[in-house]
Structure 1
Amino acid sequence: MQVSDLRAPWTQTNYPYTNDLMLINKAYANMIIAHQYDEKRYYHNLTHILQLVSLQQAYADRIRDNEVVLFSIFFHDIIYNAKRSDNEEKSAAAAVEHLQRIGFPADRTAAVNDFIIATKTHINTQNDPDLDYFLDFDLQILGTSPEAYGQYTQQIRQEYSMYPDLLYKPGRKKAMQHFLDMPSIFRTPVFRELYEEQARQNIQAEINTL
């Protein structure tokens, strides 16, 4: 997928709720700008959004509410500052503001809010099968090839370049050990089958270097 490929799913997801193309296009431009033009976004950028949209499209037939998942994908990292711990809350607030503006149903707006907040811990307290897929999409990078995973860890380190190794390495080790301590990293059977074993190997290999 290319960046231009995001416009169609964005427009199609918005259009049932508003025919104000100026509003849709302005919000799309703001989403693109937020992810593309921040030079400090080495991983949490449009490439990440493209990957998640690609996964959503691949598994759309297993998802009950694809609009909730897509809005969660588009907004879940729209606010990102490696120095702050409230990125998820601010991103969720940005999503809610947009969804209220277009008249998205209140209960589904609340679901988008909850989905985005859930990326803080990657724990599904809602017992929502769609949230399982969204969280697995977000973590799919963990179960990719060692080469792709290595590139991902380098990008994350660049995003946290303001911290010296003395601070970064213990924090990163704690964060990644959190995933190893889970009964399973991935929540859906299909993602566990495809990525669980490789993810655990990748994470352990990284921890061994920290």
Structure 2
Amino acid sequence: MLKETFIELLTNYTDSDSLTNELWTEIEKNYSSKKRHYHTLHHLDNLLTQLTEVKNEIQNWNTILFTLYYHDIVSNSLKSDNEEKSAELAEKRLKQISVSLDTIELCKNQILATKSHIKSTDSDTNYFTDADLSILGQNWEIYSLYYKNVRKEYSIYSDFVYNPGRKKVLNHFLSMDKIFKTDFFYKKFERQAKQNIQKEIELL
């Protein structure tokens, strides 16, 4: 479904099958890296499922899809500028297929919004960042697999280094008035997310 959706998206911008396949191959290769355990194609697939549920609420569906495919395309556990690098690569690729500058700018802003997940004045951005965090509100079995996979991505760090950093991230979410900015995702995931996060903190 991910590949088909991407190819269908690009038919709006280019007639070149070879360019479309080249761009998809790059996405597939990056998200399938052996260093990745959570930021994978499975993560993208879950995002697509979550966002499709609110498609009627999204004002610019094509932009949301570009954001989905490119928001984690650069992921290096040793770096803190993954979102910026992902936004840069998205801009480069979208210019290759003549996407409008307004759409490119919005896509970049949505990618950068996944760094802090704070509420945006743009409702599409809020739907995207909520979908990006939807894993937090899954049942404990799925959530525990998620946090273990995140730990694997940062396996280069000892528990002594990793645990305080992870706790800081988790406590940041708990300190928010609302983890989820949209009514739809708030009602669906907020309560379970806070329970999961609290439980993980206790296990660290």
Question: What's the TM-score, normalizing by structure 2?
Answer: 0.98
The 5 A counterparts of 1:66-77 are 66-77=61-72
Q: State how far apart, in whole Å, the 1-side matches of 2:87 and 2:171 are.
A: 26
Is structure 2 residue 129 aligned with structure 1 residue 135? yes
Instruction: Look up the match of 1:199.
Output: 193
Name structure 2 gaps, 5 residues minimum.
none
CA deviation after TM superposition for structure 1 residue 8, in Å: 1.6
Secondary structure of the structure 2 residue equivalent to 1:83:
coil
1:56–1:70 Cα contact (<8 Å) kept: no
Instruction: Look up the match of 2:13.
Output: 17
Name which of structure 1's ranges 41-50 and 57-66 shifts more when overlaid on structure 2.
57-66
Q: State how far apart, in whole Å, the 2-side matches of 1:124 and 1:75 are.
A: 20
Secondary structure of the structure 2 residue equivalent to 1:12:
helix
Name structure 1 gaps, 5 residues minimum.
none
Secondary structure of the structure 1 residue equivalent to 2:133:
helix
CA deviation after TM superposition for structure 1 residue 56, in Å: 2.0
Q: State how far apart, in whole Å, the 2-side matches of 1:57 and 1:22 are.
A: 27
Instruction: Look up the match of 1:110.
Output: 105
Q: State how far apart, in whole Å, the 2-side matches of 1:11 and 1:146 are.
A: 34
Letter in 1 for 2:61: N
Secondary structure of the structure 2 residue equivalent to 1:98:
helix
CA deviation after TM superposition for structure 1 residue 115, in Å: 0.4
CA shift digits 1:83-125 (9 cap, x unpaired): 1001000100111011111111101100000000111111234
Query: Which of residues 19, 23, 30 is equivalent to 1:34?
Result: 30
1:132–1:187 Cα contact (<8 Å) kept: yes
Q: State how far apart, in whole Å, the 2-side matches of 1:91 and 1:27 are.
A: 14
1:144–1:195 Cα contact (<8 Å) kept: yes
Question: What's the TM-score, normalizing by structure 1?
Answer: 0.95
CA shift digits 1:166-200 (9 cap, x unpaired): 00000000011000000100011011111000000
Instruction: Look up the match of 1:154.
Output: 148
Q: CA RMSD in A?
A: 0.8
Q: State how far apart, in whole Å, the 1-side matches of 2:80 and 2:115 are.
A: 9
CA deviation after TM superposition for structure 1 residue 16, in Å: 1.0
1:68–1:108 Cα contact (<8 Å) kept: yes
Secondary structure of the structure 2 residue equivalent to 1:206:
helix
Query: Which stretches of structure 1, 4 residues or more, deviate above 6 A after TM superposition?
Result: none
Letter in 2 for 1:32: E
Aligned length: 204
Is structure 2 residue 82 aligned with structure 1 residue 82? no
Instruction: Look up the match of 2:164.
Output: 170
Instruction: Look up the match of 2:96.
Output: 101
Letter in 1 for 2:29: I
